[in-house]
Structures are given as structure tokens and as C-alpha cells.
Chain A
Amino acid sequence: MKAMEKSTDSSFVSRRRLLTTGAAVGAGAVVGVSLDRALASTPETVVSLHGAERIAFHGKHQAGIATEPAAQVSFLAFDLADGSDKSTLVRLMRLTSNSAARLTQGDPALADTEPELARKPSRLTVTFGFGPRFIKLAGGVAPSWLKPLPSFSTDELQDQWSGGDFVVQVSAEDPVAVSHAVRVLSKDIRSFGTLRWRQDGFRHAASTVKTGTTMRNLFGQVDGTVNPIPGTKEFSAAVWADKGWWAGGTSLVLRRIAMDLDTWDPVSRLGREEAMGRRLSNGAPLTGTREHDEPDLEAKDALGLEVIAPYAHIRRAQTDDPTQVIFRRPYNYDIAPSGDSTSNSGLLFASFQADVDHQFVPIQQRLAELDMLNEWTTAIGSAVFVIPPGCEPGGFIGDSLLG
């Protein structure tokens, strides 16, 4: 037999020494940043690093909803394997919640084969949602609104972007953090089901615009001006469910909206502003000057025509019912075109609301009936999920259903 060297000793490490060394490494990092800043010289180019920023995973609500949206998102929907039952789903949610709790805090997942990729979570959030079949397999009671949306006249839905039993929304400022979390979670999930679809989206990169700035879609429009503000009573009433095992949770409607940039091209700026009812420059209603000015739907021009046209998107989205409010959290998508097309772009229209039937459907119904933007936009995917409440340390997402 060959000579053997015991390696046991090398895995006993003095924690005191680790602390000291860790501090030294930390000091080195600080020096590094200072040097970068010194070299940058002008104040405009001084940036703070986002890598270490963390969003709490545990709490009353899941993160990734009221959280200020980060730059990158991946939505993944899975079909659960036949024969899955409640105990299967407990194992699934225990595993995935555990990985999410660790990764969002910058700790490698258990059995993480690329632990270095977990160190910069950059505001990573992981949000889980259940489709109708998940609840059925769990033997639970589903919210009455948990079903496919009614079909709208403007829909051209494709299976490859619709439905699903289990959804995971992964978001962070850094695409590497998103990629690693998606990889880890996909490995956790693969023995429970198969990937149905994945939809990746983006907004402005971190530090590009001020926090809280309404995003622009790829038509160049300021998109999402009228939106309840997280932390307000209006937001809580619109978003968080207050009954059932999903109390403290909400619903996610994810619509994939193809935006035809090629037919949008010939539309004049005036035409584009009329279609929306807002100015392209700053998102102000055509009757106002600033983004958050209240639109005056009664205002007429010199010819007696409505300033905000009857077909304008913001007029059609408007409601007199103050409870018909949804919280929009959209992302752009831009993927490789096929055939002769020069673009394959659009919007991942994600919205959260306590009751899909009461809040989302009436708004979408009005927009399907008449909205000038329908000329250039088509819903090609649609999915509805119940988003369970958050969990406490030691628990897992969905424990109020599965516990």
C-alpha cells in the first residue's frame, strides 16, 4: 500500500485566526476601493458597489414585490411531476426556501458547487408562487381567482409562455447573481418537475437612474407612473391578501407583451404621445407638465376634441372604482429575432394584486376593448399564480398551505 498522508488536521481551523485574517482581507478591500475612487478623480464617476447589498428573505411578506425592482429578472415556471403529493411539495419548498434564504444573504447554498458566485447577492430576491395544480396536489383550497385569465380579444397566447404549476422570480442588480441563483434553484427543483418556460427581463442597470424613477419600456414610454407606493396604505390594500392560507401573500399576473418595434417606427412622436396620453419626454399627461400631474380627462383642445383621446391608453386604464388598483412591476425583454424580423422585444408585464378577478380583469377588459397601444402590442403569454406569504427563519415558503 502506498504511503498515506492524513489530511484531517488541515480541516481543523482556528476561528481566531480566521477572524484576524478576515479583518486583514477586509482592510485590503477598503484600500482597494479608496484607490479606485482616487483614480476616478471626478465626483460624477464615484460609484458605490452594490455587490454586498442584501434584501431580507424572511418576513411577513415575500421579498421581490414591495422591493424596489433590481435591474435583472428571471421568471421560471415549472410543471410538477405526476404523482407529486403534499409531502413532495413540502420537500420542494423546504429545499428551495433554504437555498433562497442563503443566497439572498450572500451565503452559498448547501452543496453549492460554485460557492464563490454566491458572495455578491447585489439585492438578490427570490419569490415563489403556486399555480392551480400545485394547490390541487397539495390538497389545499385555491383562491377563487387562481385560474387562467379570461381570453381577451387581443390575445395571441402561446403555450410556451403560459401557465405553469410553480413559479420562481429571481431578481438582482448583477446578472451573475441571478444566473447562479437560477442554477442552484433549478438543481433543487429538477427532481420535482421540468422547466415549462423561462422569461428574462431587464430595467436600467443599478445607479443609472435615481431609485424610484418610473421605468421606460422599449417604445421609449415612461411605463408605470400610476402605481401604488410600497409602504403606503393604498399599496397594502391593493396588494396583500387578508384571508385564507395566502393572507400576507398576493397574486402574480405575468403577461408577455410582444411590442412590434418595426410597425412602431413610422409612428410620429405626436402619434406616440396620443396613443399613450402622456408625453414621451417626461411621462407627463398631455394635460399636464410633470409626470405625476393628475390627467384631466375632461380637457378639450381648440377644436373641442378631448386632449387625452378616447382611445388613449391612460384613459382606458382609468377607473372610478378606487379598489380597482394593481401594482405593476414590469421588465423589458429583448431577445434574438427570428426570420426577417429585426427585433423580438417587449414587456414582461408583471402585476401584483390581492384579487385578480376584482382588480386585474376589469382593467384588462377595458384595454382589450379599446386601447390605441393594442395596434403595436400583443399578449403572447399569460400566467396567474398565488404568491404565498413570507416565512420566518426555520419555516419555508408555503408552510401555511403545506404545514
Chain B
Amino acid sequence: MNVSRPFRLVATLALAASFVLAGCSDDQKSDKADHTHDQVEIHVSDAWVKAADSGMTAAFATLENDSEKALTITKVTSDASSDTQLHETVTAADHSSMMQEVKDGFTLEPDRMLMLEPGGNHIMLMDLKKPLLPGDEVTFTLHFDDGSAQDFTAVVKEFEGANESYESHGKKH
């Protein structure tokens, strides 16, 4: 799946407009979760996980840096998987796209938002501990380079898309 830049820009604008005009209707859960650690600097919204019985799946969310400084997310952990990775989309010259792990993490400058979305950057859950059923809730912890951490909760949704191939070891999963 390959998302063109103009399309993404439009989608992002629409999303941002909804934050401004309407606020966000589903922020409660992430807001609640934000306070479990001492730092509340990343605003997490629209968090969800693709349902899967076993193996791997992906999580998506919008992360906004509400602080005055750049924040680097070095890793993400989850109660649903012992191997959770940050992934990015890379586009080949033939416009096909592939996913690969981001070893250095994601850095968010102040006043920026990072969209984790199907076809783009996302959180990868390897070797699920148990089936993730629609409506389940999964807890994630964002770990920052200064040693702090922040939790958020994502709801599991059935989803037919996000079936991208992965670059690791040159084989498709």
C-alpha cells in the first residue's frame, strides 16, 4: 500500500481541523492513561490495534508533542507482545512500499504530530501472547531517551487493510 503525499496531507489537514473545531471524542482513554507515569508531554489520540489471532499485528495512533522540547521515542513496549517495534514505511523506486524497523526511534519536535497509520509509520507487535479480539484494550508504554515513559491504551478493531509486506530477511510475512 502506498499513500501519496498529497493524499496524506489532505487527510492530515482534515484530522487537524477536527481537533481544532470539535476536540476529539475518544481522547478519554488515552488522557486517562497519560497520567500513569510522571510525564505528560505526548498527547496520544486515535489509538487502535488491528485484530489478530496470533503472530504479528500493528498499532496506530496520533502522537502530538505538547512540550517545549524535542522528544525521542526510543522504543515502545506492550502487554500484548514481548517484542514490540517501531516501524517506518519506505518506498521503492517502483512505488511499492515496504516496512522496516526504526532502530533510532522517532523524534518529535515541539508542536509536531506524528501519525502512525496504515500504510505509514506504525507500531509492530510480534509474536502475540494471546489473540487480540475486536473491542479488547491493549496497553502500550512509550519509552523516551531521557529514561521517562508514558502509557496509552488502544482499542482493538477488525481491519481488512494494513497487510503490507516486511523487508526483514527479504521475505514476506
Which residues from chain A sit less than 8 Å from chain B, CB to CB? 2-8, 10-16, 18-19, 21-22, 25-26, 54, 57, 90-95, 98, 101-102, 104-107, 110-111, 113, 115-116, 119, 187-188, 190-192, 393-394
Q: How far is the CA of A187 from the CA of B111 in the complex (A)?
A: 35
Collect the chain A residues with CB atoms within 8 Å of residue B51's CB. Answer: 191
Q: How far is the CA of A57 from the CA of B26 in the complex (A)?
A: 11
The residues in B between 2 and 55 inclusive whose CB is less than 8 angstroms from any CB of A are 5, 8-9, 11-14, 16-18, 20, 22-26, 28-29, 32, 46-48, 50-51
Task: Find out whether the CB atom of B13 lies under 8 angstroms from the CB atom of A5.
Answer: no
A-B contact pairs, 14 of them (CB 8 A): A8-B88, A8-B106, A18-B12, A18-B13, A19-B20, A22-B16, A25-B13, A105-B22, A111-B118, A111-B159, A116-B14, A187-B158, A192-B134, A394-B29
Could you say which of A11, A16, A107 contacts B120, with CB atoms under 8 Å apart?
Answer: A11
CB distance from A10 to the nearest CB of B (A): 5
Task: Find out whether the CB atom of A11 lies under 8 angstroms from the CB atom of B121.
Answer: yes
CB distance from A366 to the nearest CB of B (A): 44
Task: Find out whether the CB atom of A14 lies under 8 angstroms from the CB atom of B12.
Answer: no
Task: Find out whether the CB atom of B17 lies under 8 angstroms from the CB atom of A8.
Answer: no
CB distance from B11 to the nearest CB of A (A): 7
Task: Find out whether the CB atom of B94 lies under 8 angstroms from the CB atom of A2.
Answer: yes
Task: Find out whether the CB atom of B157 lies under 8 angstroms from the CB atom of A13.
Answer: no
Q: How far is the CA of A36 from the CA of B51 in the complex (A)?
A: 46
Could you say which of A3, A13, A91, A106 contacts B12, with CB atoms under 8 Å apart?
Answer: A13
Could you say which of B20, B28, B90, B133 contacts A393, with CB atoms under 8 Å apart?
Answer: B28
Collect the chain B residues with CB atoms within 8 Å of residue A11's CB. Answer: 8, 114-117, 120-121
The 4 closest A-B pairs by CB, nearest first: A91-B135, A18-B16, A394-B28, A110-B48
Collect the chain A residues with CB atoms within 8 Å of residue B90's CB. Answer: 4-7
Collect the chain B residues with CB atoms within 8 Å of residue A102's CB. Answer: 25-26
Task: Find out whether the CB atom of A8 lies under 8 angstroms from the CB atom of B102.
Answer: yes
Q: How far is the CA of A105 from the CA of B25 in the complex (A)?
A: 7
New A-B pairs, 13, CB < 8 Å, besides A5-B90, A11-B114, A19-B20: A4-B90, A6-B88, A7-B90, A12-B109, A13-B16, A25-B17, A93-B135, A110-B26, A110-B46, A111-B158, A116-B14, A119-B18, A393-B25
The residues in B between 41 and 87 inclusive whose CB is less than 8 angstroms from any CB of A are 46-48, 50-51, 60, 64
Q: How far is the CA of A6 from the CA of B120 in the complex (A)?
A: 11
With A107-B22, A115-B14 already in contact, the answer to whether A15 and B64 are too (CB < 8 A) is yes
Collect the chain A residues with CB atoms within 8 Å of residue B29's CB. Answer: 394
Residue of A nearest to B8 (CB): A10
Residue of A nearest to B2 (CB): A7
Task: Find out whether the CB atom of A13 lies under 8 angstroms from the CB atom of B115.
Answer: yes
| In the assembled complex, B142 has its CB within 8 A of some CB on chain A | no
| In the assembled complex, B108 has its CB within 8 A of some CB on chain A | yes
Task: Find out whether the CB atom of A15 lies under 8 angstroms from the CB atom of B155.
Answer: no
Collect the chain B residues with CB atoms within 8 Å of residue A10's CB. Answer: 5, 8
CB distance from B51 to the nearest CB of A (A): 8
Q: How far is the CA of A358 from the CA of B18 in the complex (A)?
A: 45
Could you say which of B9, B11, B50 contacts A115, with CB atoms under 8 Å apart?
Answer: B11
| Interface size class, chain B | 35 or more
Task: Find out whether the CB atom of B22 lies under 8 angstroms from the CB atom of A106.
Answer: yes
Task: Find out whether the CB atom of B112 lies under 8 angstroms from the CB atom of A13.
Answer: yes
Could you say which of B109, B155, B158 contacts A190, with CB atoms under 8 Å apart?
Answer: B158
Could you say which of A104, A106, A110, A111 contacts B18, with CB atoms under 8 Å apart?
Answer: A106
Collect the chain B residues with CB atoms within 8 Å of residue A191's CB. Answer: 51, 133-134, 158
CB distance from A344 to the nearest CB of B (A): 34
Task: Find out whether the CB atom of A7 lies under 8 angstroms from the CB atom of B158.
Answer: no
Task: Find out whether the CB atom of A94 lies under 8 angstroms from the CB atom of B48.
Answer: no
Q: How far is the CA of A111 from the CA of B122 in the complex (A)?
A: 13
Residue of B nearest to A89 (CB): B135
Collect the chain B residues with CB atoms within 8 Å of residue A14's CB. Answer: 111-112
Q: How far is the CA of A57 from the CA of B24 in the complex (A)?
A: 13
Q: How far is the CA of A11 from the CA of B91 in the complex (A)?
A: 14
Task: Find out whether the CB atom of A13 lies under 8 angstroms from the CB atom of B91.
Answer: no
Collect the chain B residues with CB atoms within 8 Å of residue A6's CB. Answer: 88, 90
Collect the chain A residues with CB atoms within 8 Å of residue B64's CB. Answer: 15
Task: Find out whether the CB atom of A95 lies under 8 angstroms from the CB atom of B134.
Answer: yes
| In the assembled complex, B113 has its CB within 8 A of some CB on chain A | yes
Task: Find out whether the CB atom of B88 lies under 8 angstroms from the CB atom of A2.
Answer: no
Collect the chain A residues with CB atoms within 8 Å of residue B46's CB. Answer: 110
| In the assembled complex, B123 has its CB within 8 A of some CB on chain A | no
Residue of B nearest to A57 (CB): B25
Task: Find out whether the CB atom of A16 lies under 8 angstroms from the CB atom of B111.
Answer: yes
Q: Which of B11, B90, B91, B134 has its CB near the most chain A CB atoms (within 10 A)?
A: B134
Collect the chain B residues with CB atoms within 8 Å of residue A190's CB. Answer: 158
Collect the chain A residues with CB atoms within 8 Å of residue B121's CB. Answer: 8, 11
Q: How far is the CA of A91 from the CA of B49 in the complex (A)?
A: 14
Could you say which of A2, A18, A107, A116 contacts B24, with CB atoms under 8 Å apart?
Answer: A107
CB distance from A94 to the nearest CB of B (A): 5
Could you say which of B102, B106, B116, B157 contacts A95, with CB atoms under 8 Å apart?
Answer: B157
Q: How far is the CA of A95 from the CA of B20 in the complex (A)?
A: 24
Digit string of B136-173 for contact with A (CB within 8 Å is 1, else 0)?
A: 11000000000000000001011111000000000000
Q: How far is the CA of A7 from the CA of B9 in the complex (A)?
A: 13
Task: Find out whether the CB atom of B89 lies under 8 angstroms from the CB atom of A7.
Answer: yes
Task: Find out whether the CB atom of A111 lies under 8 angstroms from the CB atom of B91.
Answer: no
